[in-house]
């Protein structure tokens, strides 16, 4: 930044500044006369954050909280001519933590914190304008935080789901299975697992191709998922290896579920629109159950 003049010597008037709207007071205007006006080149950082200062854009644009090269795509706030930045640092008497970068060659009016507080004490209208501005900034920051949280949850959900079948993946299983087992033990309930290994899947892939193999995996996953309760979970934890987790389900009940799923898998159709559908898919099923006080196992 380089000082080029003072506010009293530039062509911009106090009426052009949003923060001073309705604050038409000769004394207020006189307090701004000797405040410096600095120039900032495009892409240059506005301030090193070492002092609490209010910046008002006279010309050009600033971006807060983002790299100017991003074009605002990562959530930066643009400050246009007549608007201000750095109010929070002045109010908190702390250094401005957010990055402020010029999006184009800009001229800024710089007001130190002592002058800002003196202006607020002098002008009720200015204080109201600042309060409204801070309220807007807080709402905007909260909205941005909520959007980022939703986006983070979305990507986290993607990371826990198998991209091909939509079932939960091994990362989800490693995280959730111990928790489900601990909850069952704490509540005195049962927890059952149904393991599924698709039969001769490598041969299926070699014979019909990987596109057909992917379609077979999707069909098998759908058959398992569609046969479960909302409280149950279906997981793909290996290439052709899947699992069904059944909370609150005893060994005998889990065996019946496995039999039903086995039949559904056998009836699943791969590429139903073909004149000659591909062979049905079968799987080997194993059932294990964790009952209160003891573990039970059964194989099919």
Residue by residue, DSSP assigns 157-214 as: HHHTB-TTT-SB-HHHHHHHHHHHHHHHHHHT--EEEEEEEETTHHHHHHHH-HHHHH
If you search the block for the tokens 């007001």, which residue do you land on? 111
Its pTM stands at 0.52
> Which pLDDT does position 10 carry in this prediction?
83
If you search the block for the tokens 């003196």, which residue do you land on? 118
- Burial of 81 by CB count in 10 Å (0-12 exposed, 13-18 middle, 19+ buried)? middle
240 is catalytic: yes
Angstrom distances, CA of residue 256 to CA of 42, 201, 242:
69, 25, 17
> Which pLDDT does position 220 carry in this prediction?
94
| Domain 2-153 bears CATH identifier 1.10.357.10 | no
- Is the separation of the CB atoms in 295 and 289 below 8 Å? yes
* More confident call, 295 vs 141: 141
Separation of alpha carbons 88 and 46, rounded Å = 16
- Is the separation of the CB atoms in 104 and 60 below 8 Å? yes
How do residues 131-175 score in pLDDT, each as one tens digit?
888 888 888 878 878 888 888 777 777 688 999 999 999 999 999
How do residues 207-221 score in pLDDT, each as one tens digit?
888 998 999 999 999
Range with top average pLDDT, 45-49, 69-73, 142-146, 248-252: 248-252
Asked if the model's pLDDT at residue 177 lies above 90, the reply is yes
| Domain 170-299 bears CATH identifier 3.10.28.10 | no
How do residues 100-141 score in pLDDT, each as one tens digit?
899 999 999 999 989 999 999 989 998 999 888 888 888 887
Topology match between the domains 2-153 and 170-299: no
Separation of alpha carbons 110 and 95, rounded Å = 15
Residues 6+ apart with CB under 8 A from 286: 194, 195, 197, 298, 299, 300
**Of 202, 236, 203, nearest in space to 220 by CA:** 236
> Which pLDDT does position 72 carry in this prediction?
43
* More confident call, 60 vs 151: 60
Domain boundaries in the chain? 2-153, 170-299
> Which pLDDT does position 75 carry in this prediction?
55
> Which pLDDT does position 95 carry in this prediction?
57
In the set 52, 240, 267, 296, the catalytic residue is 240
Structure tokens at 73: 């795509």
In percent, the amount of the chain with pLDDT more than 90 equals: 41
Asked if the model's pLDDT at residue 192 lies above 90, the reply is yes
> Which pLDDT does position 67 carry in this prediction?
44
């Amino acid at each position: 930044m380089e000082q080029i003049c003072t506010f009293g010597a530039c062509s911009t008037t106090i009426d052009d500044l949003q923060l001073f709207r309705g604050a038409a007071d000769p004394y207020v205007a006189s307090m701004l006369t000797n405040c410096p006006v600095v120039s900032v080149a495009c892409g240059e950082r506005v301030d090193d954050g070492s002092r609490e200062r209010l910046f008002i854009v006279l010309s050009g644009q600033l971006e807060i909280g983002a790299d100017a090269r991003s074009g605002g795509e990562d959530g930066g706030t643009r400050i246009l001519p007549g608007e201000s930045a750095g109010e929070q640092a002045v109010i908190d008497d702390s250094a401005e933590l957010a990055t402020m970068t010029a999006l184009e060659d800009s001229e800024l009016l710089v007001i130190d914190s002592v002058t800002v507080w003196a202006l607020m004490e002098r002008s009720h209208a200015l204080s109201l304008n600042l309060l409204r501005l801070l309220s807007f900034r807080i709402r905007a920051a909260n909205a941005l935080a909520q959007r980022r949280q939703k986006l983070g949850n979305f990507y986290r959900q993607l990371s826990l789901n198998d991209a091909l079948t939509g079932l939960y993946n091994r990362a989800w299983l490693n995280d959730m299975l111990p928790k489900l087992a601990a909850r069952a033990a704490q509540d005195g309930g049962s927890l059952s697992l149904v393991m599924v290994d698709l039969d001769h899947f490598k041969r299926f892939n070699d014979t019909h191709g990987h596109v057909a193999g992917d379609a077979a995996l999707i069909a098998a996953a759908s058959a398992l998922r569609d046969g479960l309760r909302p409280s149950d979970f279906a997981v793909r934890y290996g290439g052709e290896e899947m699992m069904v987790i059944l909370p609150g389900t005893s060994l005998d009940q889990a065996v019946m579920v496995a039999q039903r799923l086995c039949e559904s898998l056998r009836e699943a159709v791969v590429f139903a629109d073909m004149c000659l559908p591909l062979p049905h898919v079968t799987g080997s099923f194993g059932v294990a159950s964790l009952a209160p006080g003891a573990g039970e196992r059964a194989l099919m």
